[in-house]
Amino acid sequence: MVRFENVGMRYGLGPEVLKDVSFTLEPGSFHFLTGPSGAGKSSLIRLMFMGHRPSRGLVTLFGEDVTAAGRTQRTLLRQQIGVVFQDFRLLDHLTARENVALPLRVTGARDRAVEGPVRELLSWVGLGDKLDAHPPTLSGGEKQRLAIARAVIRRPRLLVADEPTGNVDRANAQRLMRLFEALNQHGATVVLATHDERLISQYAHPRLRLAEGRLVEGGDDALSAGHAAQ
């Protein structure tokens, strides 16, 4: 479970970019995160993967209070979270297989425990013929699928994606959505930030909608009702 209780967030001494945000995400649920530019979507995602601490309130991930967690506990929690960044953040000097393997390598996994899962996952996202390709040689849609593969190689309990369909055409957006839905069906809680109302309208998933740093749709009551209706 992911839970935010009266969370506020600011950068340094600046104004709050998130204000009194409260919601609960049940395990295995799928939610769209929406709102205009500057509403606080990226900041909310940053809190979800512990890239920033809230300035007030309580954030609970998988039953753990992350606002009070120490470095070791936060590292262990991060290993259960996959993140797909809007700008991909792929390493251009590494091949596709090396990019996807990186999250396993940093935990000390041996070659035999890496090669099979990496090949299988790249094939699953449609990049089985791009194992040795470097990111600069890939299209926007291929880079996005590569970023998704890297984010899920450790089978995260929570997957958060910041505008993952923003740089691809309609056909690739639909393909990416099929990947996210399949990951969700395998048990991952998915939070997908997007401006694309046309895309959202094709799915029955509930939404978290932000406006000026406040949650204006998708509080606990609304989310519970939407999840039960699925």
Helix intervals (H) in the chain? 41-48, 71-78, 96-105, 111-124, 140-152, 170-185, 197-200, 220-229
* Residue pLDDT, tens place only, 151-174: 999 889 999 999 888 777 788 788
Q: Cβ distance 43 to 50 under 8 Å?
A: no
* Residue pLDDT, tens place only, 111-158: 777 899 999 999 988 899 999 999 999 998 899 899 999 999 988 999
Indicate the pTM of the whole model.
0.87
* Residue pLDDT, tens place only, 172-221: 788 888 889 998 999 999 999 998 888 899 999 999 999 999 999 886 54
Topology of the domain comprising 2-80+156-229: Rossmann fold (3.40.50)
DSSP code at position 203: S
Mean of all residue pLDDT scores within the chain: 89
DSSP string spanning 5-61?
EEEEEESTTS-EEEEEEEEEE-TT-EEEEE--TTSSHHHHHHHHTTSS--SEEEEEE
Confidence at residue 70, expressed as pLDDT on a 0 to 100 scale: 87
Domain boundaries defined on the chain: 2-80+156-229, 91-154
Beta bridge partners of 65: 60
- Collect all residues with Cβ–Cβ distance below 8 Å to 170 and sequence separation of at least 6: none
